[in-house]
Structure 1
Amino acid sequence: MKAHIVTLPGDGVGPEVTAAAVAVLNAVAKHGGHEFRFEEHAIGGTAIDAFGEPLPAASLDACKRADAVLLGAVGGPKWSDPNAKVRPEQGLLALRAALGVYANLRPLQVHPSLANLSPLKNDKLKNVDVLFVRELTGGTYFGAKTRTEDTATDECKYTVHEIERVVRRAFDLARGRKKHLTSVDKANVLETSRLWRSTVQRIAPDYADVTVEHQLVDSMAMLLLTQPSHYDVVVTENLFGDILTDEAAAIAGSLGLLPSASLGDGRNGLYEPIHGSAPDIAGKGIANPTGAILSAAMLLRYSLHLDAEATAIEAAVNQVLRDGPHTRDIGGDAGTDAVRNAVLRALEHHVKTSNASFADASA
């Protein structure tokens, strides 16, 4: 397979973890006989410094032409002035909107060897396997905004079309898992949530094989901590999804562990670890590349349809999480490069010992 992948390393530790993910993708290409062409562009604070804007036209054009986009992280103290007219996060929001990636997938699993790092008791962590589906291009983040000296407003607006497409994506994903969907809203207070719930209820009969439940976002925040293993696929709006998935990352033990995929209706997707730019450790070579590497696995699965290769990366990462080395955020003292190299060794071992080659499995 030939594929054009745009990388947007961004700010802070973004370049470090993105480089690790690209190394793993190159190894996959070598073992599987694929040809991945990488094209690097600027986004976020580094783009503001170099070009005066967080998403230069050249970056956006390249992303639109690509088969997939791999992002590092954006933002940092240098650009954190809340009154600034140009901010790094604007580039990320603009990119999501331009690519039409309305469904953000964030999987949560707790690796047994890291369970002690979770703030939850180990008995609550058994069989935790949740897939969050966050609506990504609507709601408060994209609504009209006003600001005066003593007031501010952020409009939260959703259309039936925006809700229906992400909810149907969530139903389809639930069908391939445990056939259980939880829809999260605030329908007891918010009109947008009432529209959300009524849309889910209207669609549900089309997926009669999937069990549906509704939860208010405040109670869901509690239930994630008290019974996380109860949930399978969780779908919710943009702001609620942002908050709940960061809470979920704490359950896993570290923000550095979790990947994400942002998908639309076409092949192109946007893939990134859920962690931020971590400016306090940027340039020190100690960032955890696991979330970025697993994001690369999601890229292979959802944009390039190379499921065997994605599974091989995930198996390699699981081996390293089990046996080490580990970065500091998960109790070790290894650097980014050491973890990357361990994943590469585990990947090579997996390829040599598996019964079928990538080419056979992906045919």
Structure 2
Amino acid sequence: MTPSAATRPLHVLVLGGDGIGPEVTAQALRVLRHMQAKYALPMQIEEQPYGNATWRATGSLMPAATHAAVDRTDAVLFGAVDSLDRAGMPAEERARGSLLSLRRRLGLFANLRPVRTERALDEVSPFKPRTLAGVDLVFVRELSGGVYYGEPRGIERDADGRRRGINTHIYDEDQIIRAARFAFALARGRRGVLTSVDKANVMEAGALWRQVVTALHHDEFRDVKLDHMLADTCGLMLNRDPKRFDVILTDNLFGDVLSDAAAGMAGSLGMLPSGSLSVPKPDGRRRALYEPVHGSAPDIAGKGVANPLAAILSVALLLRWSAGVEAAAREVEAAVTAALDAGARSADIALAGEPALGTEAMGDAVLARL
């Protein structure tokens, strides 16, 4: 599944964003630059401003230079966004610079969210060690449709003055086929099991989702085992028997919710990376955005205590999917495991009484293993 590296240098745009985003991204960037030098990777790394602080300083979430960099980049290394800290920001500016807008601009449709448990963190997770042992699954979340993009949407008032919030859950056949084909191909290269998650029992878009996935399986992927599962059942089974899952394909909303819930197995949202991909371009590369699953965590921003491991593991995904260097990706993942095995802990994954490393020190612990 790893794309071949193109001949021109890979252009990587770094956007730290809001809250703890710049802090964790700084550590991820240290790892990326280290691997770039170690493997002599043809890569151009560019940093540009983005986020609420940029808006307060310049009047724009994404200044013109950042917009231009987005248009020419191959991969974005992203920190976090705080959509709540935008009092006074014009609606058109919020829309123009939103993460949803950035995803659409890059043509991203498949969001990869791997969940792999670390034995060193067994006691951090609320799950029993025997439940966690061997968990290695990946969500493929369809990223271009569903309730996050459907129209009409908004808050309106009825004739009596009461407010009503409206969101529309909508999928067309082509969106489902594109995401499902990607997920089936990914499963074919793993353990060969795909679980498609929907709410076909109560949602017409879910019924279409199930029909389309079933047909694609019959036509192109009979060698992959396909299971259908309702979203609420999937939530239950992620708690009871997570090892049964290999690749989980689901829509934008369910993928967002279920993958965040699965963070309990990993011990913290600070352990979960993600990568969002476009269809391949003529040169074979996919445009991409890599970011930790966690949010901006404004309550700890600037304190130097945030866990950078999700951001660092997002670099591993960048090395795998955009740079096309599987060995480098595996080395970063192994370095994270080795640091945890040696006792390195940030505050979110430290047990009571255990010493906790700050953001930079945790970055040091990973780099020491590289």
Q: What's the TM-score, normalizing by structure 2?
A: 0.89
Mapping of residues 260-271 of structure 1, within 5 Å? 260-266=274-280, 267=285, 268-271=287-290
> Following TM superposition, by how much is the alpha carbon of 1:121 offset from its aligned partner in structure 2, in angstroms?
1.6
Residue pair 1:77, 1:279 contacting (<8 A) in 2 also: no
Matches of 2:273 and 2:139, distance apart in 1? 11
**What is the identity, as a one-letter code, of the residue corresponding to 1:297?**
A
Pick one of 241, 249, 254 that aligns with 1:227.
Answer: 241
- What SS is found at the alignment partner of 1:7? strand
2:268 counterpart residue number: 254
Matches of 1:141 and 1:70, distance apart in 2? 22
> Following TM superposition, by how much is the alpha carbon of 1:57 offset from its aligned partner in structure 2, in angstroms?
4.1
Residue pair 1:43, 1:59 contacting (<8 A) in 2 also: yes
1:79 counterpart residue number: 86
Residue pair 1:76, 1:277 contacting (<8 A) in 2 also: no
Pick one of 74, 86, 103 that aligns with 1:96.
Answer: 103
1:167 counterpart residue number: 180
> Following TM superposition, by how much is the alpha carbon of 1:51 offset from its aligned partner in structure 2, in angstroms?
3.6
The gaps in structure 2 that reach 5 residues or longer are: 1-6, 158-162
Matches of 1:76 and 1:98, distance apart in 2? 18
Whether 1:203 and 2:216 are equivalent positions in the alignment is yes
> Following TM superposition, by how much is the alpha carbon of 1:53 offset from its aligned partner in structure 2, in angstroms?
3.8
Matches of 1:254 and 1:286, distance apart in 2? 14
**What is the identity, as a one-letter code, of the residue corresponding to 1:249?**
A
**What is the identity, as a one-letter code, of the residue corresponding to 2:365?**
A
Matches of 1:76 and 1:101, distance apart in 2? 20
> Following TM superposition, by how much is the alpha carbon of 1:60 offset from its aligned partner in structure 2, in angstroms?
2.9
> Following TM superposition, by how much is the alpha carbon of 1:232 offset from its aligned partner in structure 2, in angstroms?
0.4
Whether 1:288 and 2:310 are equivalent positions in the alignment is no
Q: 1:301 to 1:334 in 2, by over 3 A?
A: same
**What is the identity, as a one-letter code, of the residue corresponding to 1:245?**
S
Aligned length: 347
Q: 1:146 to 1:64 in 2, by over 3 A?
A: same
> Following TM superposition, by how much is the alpha carbon of 1:124 offset from its aligned partner in structure 2, in angstroms?
1.0
Residue pair 2:272, 2:292 contacting (<8 A) in 1 also: yes
**What is the identity, as a one-letter code, of the residue corresponding to 1:302?**
W
Note the aligned Cα RMSD (angstroms). Answer: 1.9
> Following TM superposition, by how much is the alpha carbon of 1:17 offset from its aligned partner in structure 2, in angstroms?
0.7
Q: 1:143 to 1:111 in 2, by over 3 A?
A: same
> Following TM superposition, by how much is the alpha carbon of 1:36 offset from its aligned partner in structure 2, in angstroms?
3.0
2:329 counterpart residue number: 310
Residue pair 2:197, 2:234 contacting (<8 A) in 1 also: yes
Residue pair 1:301, 1:307 contacting (<8 A) in 2 also: yes
Matches of 1:208 and 1:248, distance apart in 2? 28
2:4 counterpart residue number: none
Q: 1:89 to 1:191 in 2, by over 3 A?
A: farther
Whether 1:329 and 2:348 are equivalent positions in the alignment is yes
Q: 1:118 to 1:83 in 2, by over 3 A?
A: farther
Whether 1:217 and 2:231 are equivalent positions in the alignment is yes
Residue pair 1:6, 1:40 contacting (<8 A) in 2 also: yes
After superposition, what is the alpha-carbon deviation per residue over 1:147-182, rounded to whole angstroms, capped at 9, x for unaligned?
213212111111111110010000000001110000
Matches of 1:258 and 1:146, distance apart in 2? 31
2:367 counterpart residue number: 344
Residue pair 1:12, 1:76 contacting (<8 A) in 2 also: no
Matches of 2:124 and 2:53, distance apart in 1? 33
- What SS is found at the alignment partner of 1:117? coil
Matches of 1:192 and 1:297, distance apart in 2? 34
1:360 counterpart residue number: none
> Following TM superposition, by how much is the alpha carbon of 1:307 offset from its aligned partner in structure 2, in angstroms?
1.0
Matches of 1:176 and 1:192, distance apart in 2? 28
- What SS is found at the alignment partner of 1:124? helix
Mapping of residues 32-43 of structure 1, within 5 Å? 32-43=39-50
Q: 1:190 to 1:103 in 2, by over 3 A?
A: same
Residue pair 1:180, 1:231 contacting (<8 A) in 2 also: yes
1:134 counterpart residue number: 141
After superposition, what is the alpha-carbon deviation per residue over 1:108-152, rounded to whole angstroms, capped at 9, x for unaligned?
011001011111122211211111000011111111213213212
- What SS is found at the alignment partner of 1:79? coil
Matches of 2:89 and 2:221, distance apart in 1? 44
Whether 1:121 and 2:128 are equivalent positions in the alignment is yes
Percentage of identical aligned residues: 46
2:295 counterpart residue number: 276
1:50 counterpart residue number: 57
**What is the identity, as a one-letter code, of the residue corresponding to 2:298?**
P
1:354 counterpart residue number: none
Q: What's the TM-score, normalizing by structure 1?
A: 0.91
After superposition, what is the alpha-carbon deviation per residue over 1:183-230, rounded to whole angstroms, capped at 9, x for unaligned?
000000101111110000110021111000111111111111111111
Whether 1:177 and 2:190 are equivalent positions in the alignment is yes
